């Protein structure tokens, strides 16, 4: 029986809600226990690289302030924390924010998989969406306000990029520029949107004006927002340190590397054609600056670092870029 669009949306959003709910309320979180109160959250996210990831931080504080207005008995949630200073209100703020954006992310995945450029049957589409939901869910042993929202923004960009490939209108390009600007205000991993655009524009047009011009505009947008945020803060350094040696000497960090390799292999096995495989490889190549920064300043054990690559590669595996471009 074929599922209609409404059924897919209901299934995907309910699954996202349930997976995140079980993750947040059925497992003890020791990894991020130090930021589960308002003062410690503010201290961490107003320093280092975190101070430039503003948008979702504002969302989280807004949710926290709203919950503060409500007369809620948090004992009903029966929450237990490893850190006695943890605040259930802060934890619920993380849950609400990230569950909301996970549900939005699944909605985008449903819409993308329903586009004519996405080549898969109904069962494959549902399974790929479900795999993505579970992957994002289990990656949230690291609690931050900006990761899940960043997946949403890159998929919004992906959706309009596919529309742009179908019809190269100025309107679609302006929308992509706006999404990239907002996404950069949320997290600098928005640069992966440029990698995605480079991959599909090159696959469609090669090195021509049709690919160079939009890529130039998108790159200028990212650099402009990225630098502007630092100028406004009067700080250009992050003091996050070099974790390269630690990433290769601590055994658990190899689990993160293995996760990346296994899921890269999965998307390659999933790829519909040799062209799709080339796109996945190309996407990873042009994403090397992001990966190098993960190795240098990130903690490789945190599988969340690879989730945007994985979710995007899943979609690339079934995307047919050979669509006749119409100029407008």
Question: Which residues does the chain have with pLDDT short of 50?
Answer: 1, 324-326, 328
CB atoms within 10 A of CB 305: 23
User: 251: helix, coil or strand?
Assistant: coil
Q: What is the pLDDT of residue 328?
A: 47
Domain count, the chain: 1
What is the structure's pLDDT at 257?
Answer: 93
Q: Which of 265, 291, 297, 319 is nearest to 195 (CA)?
A: 291
How much is the pLDDT for 239?
58
Cα–Cα distances (Å) from 322 to 21, 204, 309, 316, in that order, read 40, 6, 22, 13
Going through the chain in order, the beta strands assigned E by DSSP cover: 167-168, 326-327
Host domain of residue 144: 5-327
Instruction: Give residues with Cβ within 8 angstroms of 152, minimum separation 6.
Output: 101, 104, 105, 108
The pLDDT value recorded for residue 209 is 92
- DSSP per-residue letters across 8-20: HHHHHHHHHHHHH
248 HSE (CA, 13 A, CB side): 5
Question: Residue 27: its pLDDT value, please?
Answer: 84
User: Are the C-beta atoms of residues 15 and 130 closer than 8 Å to each other?
Assistant: yes
pLDDT of residue 23: 93
């Amino acid at each position: 029986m074929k599922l209609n669009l409404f059924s897919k949306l209901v299934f995907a959003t309910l699954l996202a809600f349930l997976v995140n709910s079980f993750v947040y309320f059925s497992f003890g979180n020791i990894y991020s226990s130090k930021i589960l109160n308002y003062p410690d959250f503010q201290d961490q996210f107003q320093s280092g690289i975190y101070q430039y990831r503003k948008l979702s931080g504002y969302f989280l504080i807004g949710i926290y302030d709203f919950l503060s207005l409500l007369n809620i008995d948090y004992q009903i949630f029966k929450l237990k924390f490893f850190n006695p200073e943890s605040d259930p209100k802060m934890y619920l703020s993380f849950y609400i924010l990230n569950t909301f954006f996970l549900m939005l992310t699944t909605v985008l995945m449903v819409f993308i998989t329903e586009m004519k450029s996405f080549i898969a049957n109904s069962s494959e589409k549902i399974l790929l969406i479900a795999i993505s939901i579970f992957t994002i869910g289990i990656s949230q042993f690291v609690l931050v306000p900006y990761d899940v929202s960043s997946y949403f923004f890159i998929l919004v960009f992906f959706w309009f990029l596919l529309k742009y490939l179908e019809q190269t209108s100025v309107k679609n390009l302006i929308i992509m520029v706006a999404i990239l600007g907002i996404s950069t205000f949320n997290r600098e991993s928005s640069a992966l949107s440029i990698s995605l655009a480079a991959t599909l524009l090159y696959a469609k047009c090669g090195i021509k004006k049709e690919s160079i011009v939009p890529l130039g505009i998108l790159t200028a947008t990212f650099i402009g927002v990225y630098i502007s945020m630092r100028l406004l803060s009067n700080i250009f350094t992050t003091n996050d340190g070099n974790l390269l040696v630690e990433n290769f000497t601590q055994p658990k960090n190899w689990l993160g590397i293995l996760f990346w390799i296994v899921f890269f292999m999965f998307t390659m096995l999933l790829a519909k054609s040799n062209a799709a495989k080339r796109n996945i490889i190309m996407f990873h190549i042009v994403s090397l600056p992001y990966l190098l920064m993960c190795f240098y300043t990130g903690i490789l054990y945190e599988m969340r670092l690879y989730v945007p690559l994985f979710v995007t590669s899943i979609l690339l595996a079934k995307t047919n870029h050979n669509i006749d471009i119409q100029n407008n």
